[in-house]
Amino acid sequence: MATADVTVMGGGIFGLSVAYACLRKGATVRLIEARAIGAGSSGGLVGALAPHVPDQWNEKKAFQLESLLMAEGYWREIERLSGLSAGYARTGRLQPLADAKAVALAEARAESAREIWGDRAVWRVAEAAAFPGWAPEGGTGLVVHDTLSARMHPQRAAAALAAAIEALGGEIVLGPGRAEGAVVWATGHEGLAELSRALGREVGNGVKGQSLSLRYEAGALPQLFAGGLHVVPHADGTVAIGSTSERVFTAADTVDGQLDDLHARAVAAVPALAGAEVVARWAGVRPRAASRAPMLGPWPGRAGHYVANGGFKIGFGVAPMVGEVMAALVLAGQDRIPEGFRVEASLER
């Protein structure tokens, strides 16, 4: 490959999305990944692309909304370029409502959604009976049903995005590689630790998550979110269940009894899953910035170097916009990064 205009360090969803966006803007791009594409938290199973609640609106929620709305066209083009399925579909989400207070809050948010989302998506209170055998009983027989949430298979999506990068002429190096041009660091929780050391204070850390996948054909049923539990039907005839959130752990990539508990909770919420074969178990560490928002922008005091990290639980959902704003910054000096997403936002914590 010719000398790279941009080198992206890291083959997770942020690194892949930045490399793809830079290529689309005409740059020569080299992506260097030390282990394998999606080797970190981007190689998980769940793939819940779900919006923040439509109230108390802020720049983080607006950024995520824009990204979720562009996702269908984004992943369709990646599938066209790569010839691979990312497993994307905007199938919606159900959340059971426990009591009258929860129903009233959901109805108020439905009004906010009409104002903020317009006719692009719906947030409504619906009868759980409209989804027989699937919607969990929440105490009221009612659920929130939103049509903005989407599913995707993280491992398949990462592979499709990597193939699209190569189809556009990008270079992917697995193992050691030479960084040239502008350098974008998208190296997950290890990168947050390195950045913390360089800046002399903690700007983020890793949070372990465990998830599993069951052999169950749920078709295009909506994903579920109940009591902190995600249940996501996938196009390959599996249902993913996740995830734990472990701030303290000894082994990053091993599963334990907490995953068994997660499985039991999912079956209790959706009895139709009882007896479904477990086909995969996964554990990995998600990068969480101190600000709890994605961390984007120049690396302080290191000219020509940039950071794209801290996707935590919303990385795949915001990836299309992360790629766009980082490519604009690195290639054209156009700064469209929300204030709360800047590296400095985590330094101020």
> Tell me: the pLDDT tens digits for 199-237?
999 999 999 999 999 999 999 999 999 989 999 999 999
Q: Pick from 141, 13, 147: which is nearest to 78 by CA? A: 13
If pLDDT is split at 50, 70 and 90, which confidence band does 138 have? confident
Instruction: Using the predicted structure, report yes or no on whether residue 40 has a pLDDT greater than 90.
Output: no
Q: How far apart are CA 327 and CA 213, in angstroms?
A: 34
CA angle (214, 219, 222) in 5-degree steps: 90
6-86+153-205+290-347 adopts what CATH topology?
A: FAD/NAD(P)-binding domain (3.50.50)
Cis before 17? omega within 30: no
Q: What is the pTM of this model?
A: 0.96
Region 319-333: mean pLDDT is 98
- CA 301 → CA 125, 305, 306, distances in Å? 50, 9, 10
Domain boundaries of the chain, sorted by first residue:
6-86+153-205+290-347, 93-147
Q: Pick from 282, 201, 202: which is nearest to 241 by CA? A: 282
Q: How far apart are CA 116 and CA 126, in angstroms?
A: 20
Region 66-70: mean pLDDT is 97
